[in-house]
């Protein structure tokens, strides 16, 4: 096992390029999943190492395991980075500040532009359509792994919202200010009353809901979802133009219901 991990550690950049050139979407999705599993293992090993150190016990093995997990993560990230370079939308993804090669590769491998005539199809596939309900006994109506990747993208936009290069981080911040204003005005009172029974009376969430306001965590989540949906809209629009050579259809809320306005996307070539 040690020799195998040492071999992985010595994987050359040219080997990564060769490996990436042979990857299909199924393999990329597997590598993305494996990356996050390895990341979780590394964190557990690091926590165990720290705990052993405080207790004055030997921690060489757990420290070694953490180091090997880091090696695997780095090599997977290297391969996925090359995959994005070879993808038609790789340049677009690489221009988005806050979206690294793992999230980028995962999104590209999960989304099929030929199955998404509008961005609304991607939103639904990613579980970002609030009208979707997962009914008991029914198959989940969205892709759980894609939804998780979108959540991670939102976390990244939130993390980098003060960076002038993070366009979608700025969208997140502006949307959060908007959501806070609405919440303070009481615009969410009806929804708060509907949600009240789902929380214990001793929780912080119940306190906010009982006053007719959504909890701060829900406000932040709304802002993050908004930024991610705008990012996906830009991704879909650019991908559709490159694939079909024409402008994409407008999303249903804009084209039919008039619930939103068009926004000039941040596209860098």
Phi, psi torsion values for 100, nearest 5 degrees: -85, -175
Q: Are residues 194 and 269 in the same domain?
A: yes
Rounding to the nearest 10 degrees, give the CA dihedral for residues 176, 234, 110, 154. Answer: -20
Q: Are residues 100 and 70 in the same domain?
A: no
Domain count, the chain: 2
The one-character DSSP state at 260 is S
For the chain, 269 residues long, give each residue's pLDDT as a single digit of tens: 445 444 444 555 567 667 777 889 999 999 999 999 999 999 999 999 999 989 998 888 898 999 988 988 998 999 999 999 999 999 999 999 999 999 999 999 999 999 999 999 999 999 999 999 999 899 999 999 999 999 999 999 999 999 999 999 999 999 999 999 999 999 999 999 999 999 999 999 999 999 999 999 999 999 999 999 999 999 999 999 999 999 998 765 544 434 444 565 555 44
User: pLDDT tens for residues 51-63?
Assistant: 998 999 888 889 8
SS3 assignment for 186-203: CCCHHHHHHHHHHCCCCC
The one-character DSSP state at 113 is G
Q: Are residues 50 and 121 in the same domain?
A: no
- Taking the alpha carbons of 263, 264, 268, 269 in that order, is the dihedral positive or negative? positive
- Which residue range is the domain that position 235 belongs to? 88-269
Q: How far is the C-alpha of 222 from the C-alpha of 218, rounded, in Å?
A: 6
């Amino acid at each position: 096992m040690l020799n195998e991990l040492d071999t992985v550690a010595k994987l050359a950049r040219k080997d990564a390029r060769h490996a990436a050139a042979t990857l299909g979407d199924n393999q990329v999705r597997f590598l993305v999943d494996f990356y996050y599993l390895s990341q979780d293992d590394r964190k557990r090993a690091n926590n165990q190492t720290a705990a052993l150190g405080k207790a004055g016990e030997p921690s060489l093995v757990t420290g070694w395991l953490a180091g090997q997990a880091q090696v695997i993560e780095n090599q997977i990230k290297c391969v996925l980075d090359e995959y994005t370079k070879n993808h038609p939308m790789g340049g677009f993804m690489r221009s988005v500040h806050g979206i690294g090669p793992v999230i980028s590769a995962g999104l590209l491998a999960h989304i099929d532009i030929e199955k998404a005539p509008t961005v609304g199809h991607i939103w639904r596939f990613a579980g970002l359509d609030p009208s979707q309900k997962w009914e008991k006994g029914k198959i989940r109506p969205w892709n759980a792994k894609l939804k998780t990747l979108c959540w991670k993208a939102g976390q990244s936009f939130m993390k980098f919202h003060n960076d002038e290069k993070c366009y979608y981080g700025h969208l997140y911040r502006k949307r959060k200010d908007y959501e806070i204003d609405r919440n303070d005005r009481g615009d969410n009172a009806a929804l708060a009353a509907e949600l009240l029974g789902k929380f214990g009376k001793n929780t912080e969430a119940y306190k906010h809901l009982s006053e007719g306001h959504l909890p701060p965590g829900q406000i932040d989540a709304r802002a993050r979802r908004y930024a991610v949906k705008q990012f996906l809209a830009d991704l879909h629009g650019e991908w559709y133009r490159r694939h079909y050579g024409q402008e994409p259809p407008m999303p249903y809320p804009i084209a039919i219901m008039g619930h939103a306005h068009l926004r000039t996307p941040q596209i860098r070539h």
